[in-house]
Every structure is written in structure tokens, then in C-alpha cells.
Amino acid sequence: MRFFEQQDEARARTRQLLLLFALAVALLVLAMNVALALTWRLVTPGFSSYPAYFFTVNTVMTLAFVLGGWWLETSSLHGGGEKLARRVGAREAWPTSRQEEQKLCNIASELAIAASMPVPQVMVLDRVASINAFAAGWDEDDAVIAVTRGALDSLNRDELLGLVAHALSHIREGDTRLNMRLAGMVFGL
């Protein structure tokens, strides 16, 4: 079955991304050590050698900044998918006052019930005219699906159903948790 092969390929790509992140951190540490070593040579008259633990301290400090940034961003996203969605300009869908948002909320509810999972919070990105959606959250309980205004205005019910189903699959498969972690990691760099 092609599905399982694709799943294995996706996991392999995830491992590659994590290795690339580790490589990026290592290159950042190297660049900081080189920059600080050159600076030390320029500002220290009569340069003979570096102080004890010079490179160790530089490495530890650089790693502390990277890991600290990662931790801060991950902590700020602790509020779950809603916090991330609001950060990018999404607002909660208003099913009682807007027909297209009622349709969106109904679709999200129907699909979540069919998938035996909690209904995610539904949000709308009003300022985005393109057709798109995303899912965010640490788990199924704090998950959010955000759909663009362009998708609401342009797609019929069946097309919108496909878009929301795709977003729900990311929640179900745990992709959103990985993406939340990756957001913190990238911020750390």
C-alpha cells in the first residue's frame, strides 16, 4: 500500500529536518566562536593565547541562547493552537451571524464526529484572500483549524469539506504537535 510508504517517507524527512536543525546549531556555534575569536584578537593588544575556557564559554552561551529562545517560544505557544492562530491574525468563527462560517463549523463538527475526535476550535483568517487552511495545537484537545476568507468565499461545500478534512488529518496524525515544536526550534535559531 502506497500510504504506508508515504508515511515512512514523511518520518524520514522529519528525521532529516531534525538533523539539519542540529547541523544549523553546530554551524551557529562555530560561527560565533570564529567571530568572537577574531574579535578577541583585534581588541586584545599583544595577543598570545585565548583565556582558559574561551571556546567552552562561547559554546555554552550560544547554546543557552538557542535553547532559551526555543524554550521561550514553546512556552509562549503553551496556550495551544488558538494562541498560534491568533498570532497570525485568525479570529473565532461566528456561526450564528455568518452563513459561510456556519457551514464551516458544521463541516468541522461532522468530520470530527466521523473521526471520533473532539471538535476543534474553528477560526477564520479574514485578511487572506487565497484558498488555504491550517491546523495547530499540541493535541486533539487544544486543536484549532483556521480557514482563510478566500477558501470560505471561493469553495463549495464539498471542496471546503476536503480542505477541512485535510486539516483534521494533521491533528489526528500528530503533525500539529511536531509543527508546534518545530516553531519553537526555529525561533531558537
* Contact indicator for 79, 87 with CB cutoff of 8 Å: no
Place 148 in a pLDDT band, splitting at 50, 70 and 90.
very high
- E strand spans, 23-178: 91-92, 121-125, 133-136, 144-148
pLDDT at 50: 85
Place 44 in a pLDDT band, splitting at 50, 70 and 90.
confident
What are 42's three cell numbers? 583585534
pLDDT, average across residues 37-47: 85
Instruction: Cite the residue boundaries of each domain of the chain with CATH code 3.30.2010.10.
Output: 81-176
The DSSP letter of residue 174 is T
* Contact indicator for 93, 101 with CB cutoff of 8 Å: yes
CATH superfamily of 81-176: Metalloproteases ("zincins"), catalytic domain (3.30.2010.10)
pLDDT at 141: 87
pLDDT, average across residues 133-157: 94
Across 9-18, 79-88, 130-139, least confident range: 9-18
Q: What percent of the chain stands above pLDDT 90?
A: 54
pLDDT of 177 > 70? The answer is: yes
What's the rounded Cα separation, in Å, for the pair 56 and 58? Answer: 5
Q: Mean pLDDT over all residues of the chain?
A: 89
What's the rounded Cα separation, in Å, for the pair 18 and 62? Answer: 19
pLDDT of 1 > 70? The answer is: no
Across 15-24, 72-81, 127-136, least confident range: 72-81
pLDDT, average across residues 81-100: 89
pLDDT of 17 > 90? The answer is: no
pLDDT, average across residues 121-146: 93
pLDDT at 52: 85
Place 145 in a pLDDT band, splitting at 50, 70 and 90.
very high
